[in-house]
Amino acid sequence: MNPLGDDAPYQPSPTDATPPAASPASGEAAHGTAPGDGPGELGVTRASSAEWLQVEEWAAEEQWNPGLGDTVCFHPTDPAGFFLGRIDGRPVSAVSVVNYSDDFAFLGYYLVDPGHRGNGHGMTTWREAVPHAGGRTIGLDAVPAQEETYRRSGFTPAYRTGRYAGRPTEPGAPSPSVTAVTELKEDQLERIAAYDRQCFPASRSAFLERWLTAPGHSAYVFEEAGGIAGYGVIRPARNGHRIGPLFADDAQVAEALFDALTAHLGPDDEVCIDIPETHEAAVSLATSRGLEPGSGTVRMYAGTAPSVRSECVFGVTSLELG
């Protein structure tokens, strides 16, 4: 099984040119607002949330298995960071560059419509979009086959991420920590955001409020007298469900959260989770619950790699937005 498909996230069309370097030479000048010169010419503009639904469909066609309603949660994070290349008004290419803070941005959704590949549209859209990040560190997830392409563009690999998928099996015995796991309560949002900031490169309180409470999303929290020690989210996807993030202080907490997140699934329901391959305890948890490895990506950064509590990342939030 290849959950990400043969044209996995963030690889340019094989016949498109190598993306230019990520570091912008100038500020916010004209990027993202380059109209086509005439009929049949590519123009790059920012996309509304409604327009981005077309890109979500492309992602589904490439078997990325996007979550249902992801755009509604993703787009408000940085509405100016979603770019579409259009020919005669028709979308043909896309890149998102979402600024989370003054220091960190994440690049995703690097896609070209199959019927328009090989014409340099991906590179043109990239050139218009990437300067939106300014001087921020940029993160992305690349398929291994394109690692060298991104190296030439100024990105450095940090770790590999594997997608684990399957029908989760029940644990042999309930985790002794399961009593500390509860469904999300509204008064926990602020504390979850503080915990999340230790595991993610930037504060993202507004995004988290949408992500944790979106229709169909289920969030569980591990909290004892000492405070929050982990949380996780499961959401419906085009195929089955996706878990992300799954952040926890240790394996026991992660196990209790995983089991709570998947307890409502039917015997035929599939789930997938994207795990840093360097995190042995996270991989062990996934395989102990019957999930199998599929394809993977390489987390890469242009700029200084952010410092987070990587030992707490048992599952990343998404490959599209970091």
Which pLDDT tens digit goes with each residue over 95-136?
A: 999 999 999 999 999 999 988 888 889 999 999 999 999 999
Cα angle 92, 97, 101; round to 5? 165
Cβ–Cβ < 8 Å for 298, 147: yes
Question: How far is residue 76's CA from residue 119's CA, in Å, rounded to a whole number?
Answer: 31
Question: How far is residue 303's CA from residue 22's CA, in Å, rounded to a whole number?
Answer: 9
pLDDT at site 15: 27
pLDDT tens digits, one per residue of 212-255: 999 999 999 999 888 999 999 999 999 999 999 999 999 999 99
Question: Which pair of structure tokens corresponds to residue 42?
Answer: 């590519």
* 304: number of Cβ within 10 Å: 10
The three-class DSSP label of residue 233 is strand
Pick the range with the lowest mean pLDDT from 3-12, 66-75, 205-214: 3-12
* 134: number of Cβ within 10 Å: 16
Question: How far is residue 297's CA from residue 149's CA, in Å, rounded to a whole number?
Answer: 14
Cα angle 67, 234, 99; round to 5? 60
Cβ–Cβ < 8 Å for 258, 155: no
Question: How far is residue 298's CA from residue 142's CA, in Å, rounded to a whole number?
Answer: 5
- Closest C-alpha among 49, 73, 53 to residue 212: 73
Question: How far is residue 238's CA from residue 58's CA, in Å, rounded to a whole number?
Answer: 12
- Sketch out the chain's domains with CATH numbers: 42-157 (3.40.630.30), 162-315 (3.40.630.90)
β-bridge mates for residue 94, sequence order:
84, 111
Q: CA dist 230 to 198, 210, 243, Å?
A: 11, 18, 14
pLDDT tens digits, one per residue of 258-270: 999 999 999 999 9
Place of tokens 């008004």: 89
Burial 160-195 (b: 16+ CB within 10 A, else e): bbbbbbbbbeeeeeebebbebbeebeeebbeebbeb
β-bridge mates for residue 138, sequence order:
105, 302
Say if residue 91 is preceded by a cis peptide, omega within 30 of 0: no
Place of tokens 């926890």: 248
Indicate left, alpha or beta for 118 from its phi (over 0: left) and psi (-120 to 50: alpha).
left
31 pLDDT band, cuts 50/70/90, is very low
Burial 223-232 (b: 16+ CB within 10 A, else e): beeeebbbbb
- The answer for residues whose C-beta is within 8 angstroms of residue 205's C-beta and 6 or more apart is 189, 190, 193
Question: How far is residue 296's CA from residue 315's CA, in Å, rounded to a whole number?
Answer: 13
pLDDT tens digits, one per residue of 135-146: 999 999 998 888
pLDDT tens digits, one per residue of 158-211: 999 999 999 999 775 556 566 789 999 999 999 999 999 999 999 999 999 999
